[in-house]
Structure 1
Amino acid sequence: MSQQYDAIIIGSGSNGLAAAIHLQQKGLKTAIFEQASSPGGSTRTEEVTLPGFKHDIGSAILPMGVASPFFRTLPLDEHGLEWIYPDIPYAHPFDDGTALACFQDIDRTAAQLYKDENSYKKLFKPIVEKWPQLEYNLLGPLSFPDHPVELLKFGLKALPSAKMLVNHYFKEDKSKVFFYGSAAHSTLPLNTIASASFGLVLTTMAHKFGWPFPKGGAGKFIEALLSYYKSMGGEIFLNKKVEDVNELPKAKAYLFDVTPEQLLKIKGTEFPSLYRKRMGNYNYGAGVFKIDWALSKPIPFTNEKCRKAGTIHLGFTKKEMEESEDSVHNNRATDTPYVLIAQHSVFDNTRAPDGKHTAWAYCHVENGSTKDFTKQIEDQIERAAPGFKGCILAKSTMNTHQLEVFNPNIIGGDINGGKQDITQLFTRPIAKISPYSTPNPSIYICSSSTPPGGGVHGMSGFNAAKKVISDHFNDLKQK
């Protein structure tokens, strides 16, 4: 293991792989060191209920994987990746049996909203149309924008809370709840500044790119990335937990796909005390409680729109949604949590034995909570799909502690690599000109704890790799 490399990447999640691929593309010699026995971080597929039922243990629906400005330049289809696009990206049911669907077509989506039809189009059409001018600035560190006017227009919509935005744009409660469904992916209270930004970006992704997932499991995305990386000469070493930088082969740069808490535990970094103190103050966000089910048939949603959607958001009233997300951050439990569901096998028959199905869901919980939310989640699904519980053949649950064991980056169950509020949205892990570099000129952080944060987009790794090239390989910058 004494071989010399240009750069070494620690961690093989989507960001670590993105960093390694970009550096390898530039002709550098790289290697990935992964502590687990299989690559992918949170993006893995396993049989955890019954034989033949393939479940995505972490990430399940990957809209940012197909929308990523970096990933979409890669020839991943040549390495076995096949995207599946559900008929409807996501849907949101209500207690009266109705549901709203986010179709890829904006006009079709808006037509369901009655009084709010024109407001919906006014809100989303400019963002979808101008997305190519926005994406690099929104998916990177703070910098002078390439298109400042368009970014300012987006910012005026994105900086308010989700609650402020829906009250400004929409009259109907169902329209407001519909937007809350995507905004709540932020894991922030819906009255928090900038929580609207998550709803805007994710809904824009649905309209512009869809919310697809890889055929055969999210792990197929990692397999394709790794296959492409290896085809260029990249190397990966599994079961290699790094506890000391000095254990690694010599390299000009070391890129850590880990969170601040983990990076501070690595020996040999020689970080000064002030940097350690600032990194130690990094805030982690809410956790999740997750369930995978093996089912005898598809989830029997009352509304047809839900049966045709890859993702379903559950939260049946505006008050219920607001109280659910607020309770997570205020030490209160709720029996009616906001629930996210993915139903892959409806569209992908490789996920389960013939005639059988899988389902994936989670709700937000306090960071570090070990409470079992199985009943609350299943009760919420039963409201929209009477008879659901009778379809369950087997289940696998994971609380925040079990998720962190599965992937040490999920600190306290936080799947976003840190709280994504206004103080840590662009200035993560700390406020500095380059969020990817550290006081040690050879050590970088490339995880979702850097801009643009959580999601399977690889942009944190890509941006960190660009910084490495700028700092250490000036002759490659123009390639």
Structure 2
Amino acid sequence: MSLSYDAIIIGSGSNGISAAIYLQQKGLKTAIFEQAANPGGSTRTQELTLPGFKHDVGSAILPMGFGSPFLRSLPLEEHGLEWIFPEIPYAHPFSDGSAHACYTDIRKTAVQLGDDEASYFNLFEPLVKDWEKLENDLLGPLGIPQHPLDFMKFGLKALPSAKLLAKHYFKNEKSRIFFYGSAAHSTLPLNSLASASFGLVLSTMAHKYNWPFPKGGAQNFINSMLSYYTSIGGELHLEKNITQLDELPESKTYLFDLTPKQLLKIKGTDFPGLYRKRMDSFKYGAGVFKVDWALSEPIPFTNEKCRKAGTVHIGFSEEEMENSEQSIHQKNMTQTPYVLVAQHSIFDNTRAPEGQHTAWAYCHVPNANTEDFSKIIEDQIERAAPGFKDCILKKSTMNSAQLNAFNPNIIGGDINGGKQDITQLFTRPIAKMSPYSTPNPRIYICSSSTPPGGGVHGMCGFNAARAVEKDHF
């Protein structure tokens, strides 16, 4: 370990590693300090159920990791990363046994929607075509956009609620439910301002890049990033739980891949009282309850489209999905929640012993709720895949407290690093010109509590590192 550095990064999630890589690429001396024995934050893979069954403990499907402007620039494939592209990015089953699939082909997707075919195509075709003009502005801090007109057009569609946008564009309930499936990744009520933006961005990513995942487990994504980082001279130090600044070597700058609640606990930061008060008001969002299964066979979805999809969204009516996402913010829970299911092993045979399979799923729950919702989740999947429960060999569950223990950044089960409503979409953790800087000129924040928020994309770290470069180097 060196005696002094240009930048020390605390936390080895995708944002922390991205910040370290960017600064190391610029010829600066950097090091990552991670509190856990294994790097990666939420992006880790373990045998949670039975030997030979590889489960992604946190992040599982990584479209933003594949499509991230910064991560795309890195030679991760040369460092062992191999992407798996499911036949269908995501699908949504309905109560009558039918389903809609989001194909990479927009027209093929739109045709399924009947009367809503033209509306769907007209909504997404311009977004996919112009994505390169939008991505840097959407995945960075609020500022003067590089392409103002395109950005404004997107904003007019993205700022309304998912409910309002769906009703404006789609006549049929199935089309609206289909859009809700991607919009509900926001963990916001579907009538909240800007909840439409998640549906627009994630569906655009599916049409442009698919929703891929790393072969062998999400951990391999982190492994490839760290392999590249150390190959260019970066240092990684594990099992270093930092509680005060003077526990770290001397450095010109420090970048914390932590949420506000954790950063405020670090001693020696010399933050003034007003800043602490504002940071203490940062809002955390809903939590998740997660289940992993070892299965004797693939999930027996009634509809073939779901059997060919890497991700399946489950919610059988508009009312069911709206109630599900509304109730969690009222500290309640429905018996028919919106459920996200990931199926890796039907496309990646390294995930389970031959002939057997894995599945991964979660539902949104009130923040810090510790109840067991595995039966409710299984009941929802059973509705779309009769016989699913008979395929279960073993399961592993994680409530919000267990997820928080696994990764301290998941406060109360919030996987997005803070609520991503209209008040904290761009102005996170607080409203200021540089959301990554703090009153201490040597300390920066590079976590998902900064723009653009949750997801495995590394852009929070990239943007924070650019701020450090601009301010100090």
Q: In 2, Cα distance between the equivalents of 1:242 and 1:378?
A: 39
CA RMSD between the two structures: 0.5
Q: In 2, Cα distance between the equivalents of 1:313 and 1:446?
A: 30
Q: In 2, Cα distance between the equivalents of 1:316 and 1:467?
A: 45
Q: In 2, Cα distance between the equivalents of 1:117 and 1:330?
A: 36
Q: CA deviation at 1:332?
A: 2.0
- Alignment match, 1:97: 97
- Alignment match, 1:201: 201
Question: Which amino acid in structure 2 is aligned with residue 234 of structure 1?
Answer: G
1:131 paired with 2:108, answer no
* SS at 1:163 equivalent: helix
Q: In 2, Cα distance between the equivalents of 1:44 and 1:236?
A: 16
8 A contact 1:295–1:392 mirrored in 2: yes
Q: CA deviation at 1:95?
A: 1.0
* SS at 2:20 equivalent: helix
Q: In 1, Cα distance between the equivalents of 2:123 and 2:2?
A: 56
Per-residue Cα deviation, 1:60-111 (whole angstroms, up to 9, x for no partner): 0000000000000000000000000000000000111100000000000000
Structure 2: gaps of 5 or more residues = none
Per-residue Cα deviation, 1:98-144 (whole angstroms, up to 9, x for no partner): 00000000000000000000000111111111110000000000110
Q: In 2, Cα distance between the equivalents of 1:23 and 1:394?
A: 44
Q: In 2, Cα distance between the equivalents of 1:332 and 1:3?
A: 51
- Alignment match, 1:389: 389
- Alignment match, 1:337: 337
Question: Which amino acid in structure 1 is aligned with residue 60 of structure 2?
Answer: A
Q: CA deviation at 1:331?
A: 2.2
- Alignment match, 2:80: 80
- Alignment match, 1:327: 327
- Alignment match, 1:4: 4
Per-residue Cα deviation, 1:170-206 (whole angstroms, up to 9, x for no partner): 0000000000000000000000000000000000000
- Alignment match, 1:67: 67
Q: In 2, Cα distance between the equivalents of 1:454 and 1:99?
A: 28
- Alignment match, 1:24: 24
- Alignment match, 1:457: 457
1:286 paired with 2:286, answer yes
Q: In 2, Cα distance between the equivalents of 1:426 and 1:24?
A: 27
8 A contact 1:2–1:250 mirrored in 2: no
Question: Which amino acid in structure 1 is aligned with residue 91 of structure 2?
Answer: A
Q: In 2, Cα distance between the equivalents of 1:170 and 1:94?
A: 16
Structure 1: gaps of 5 or more residues = 474-479
Q: In 2, Cα distance between the equivalents of 1:231 and 1:348?
A: 28
Q: In 2, Cα distance between the equivalents of 1:226 and 1:9?
A: 13
Q: In 1, Cα distance between the equivalents of 2:107 and 2:354?
A: 37
Question: Matched residue pairs, number?
Answer: 473
Matched ranges for 1:420-439 at <5 A: 420-439=420-439
- Alignment match, 1:476: none
Q: In 2, Cα distance between the equivalents of 1:331 and 1:244?
A: 34
Q: In 2, Cα distance between the equivalents of 1:152 and 1:295?
A: 47
* SS at 1:104 equivalent: coil
Matched ranges for 1:27-176 at <5 A: 27-176=27-176
Q: In 1, Cα distance between the equivalents of 2:426 and 2:140?
A: 8
Q: In 2, Cα distance between the equivalents of 1:126 and 1:2?
A: 50
Question: Which amino acid in structure 1 is aligned with residue 30 of structure 2?
Answer: T
Q: CA deviation at 1:371?
A: 0.9
- Alignment match, 1:414: 414
Q: CA deviation at 1:330?
A: 1.1
Q: In 1, Cα distance between the equivalents of 2:425 and 2:334?
A: 27
With normalisation by structure 1, the TM-score equals 0.98
* SS at 2:405 equivalent: helix
Question: Which amino acid in structure 1 is aligned with residue 418 of structure 2?
Answer: G
- Runs of 4+ aligned structure 1 residues displaced above 4 Å come to none
With normalisation by structure 2, the TM-score equals 1.00
Q: In 2, Cα distance between the equivalents of 1:58 and 1:6?
A: 31
- Alignment match, 1:446: 446
Q: CA deviation at 1:2?
A: 5.9
Identity over aligned pairs, percent: 74
Q: CA deviation at 1:333?
A: 1.8
Question: Which amino acid in structure 1 is aligned with residue 101 of structure 2?
Answer: A
Per-residue Cα deviation, 1:41-64 (whole angstroms, up to 9, x for no partner): 000000010000000000000000
- Alignment match, 1:477: none
8 A contact 1:367–1:400 mirrored in 2: yes
Question: Which amino acid in structure 1 is aligned with residue 424 of structure 2?
Answer: Q
8 A contact 1:295–1:356 mirrored in 2: yes
* SS at 1:302 equivalent: coil
Matched ranges for 1:232-271 at <5 A: 232-271=232-271
* SS at 1:462 equivalent: helix
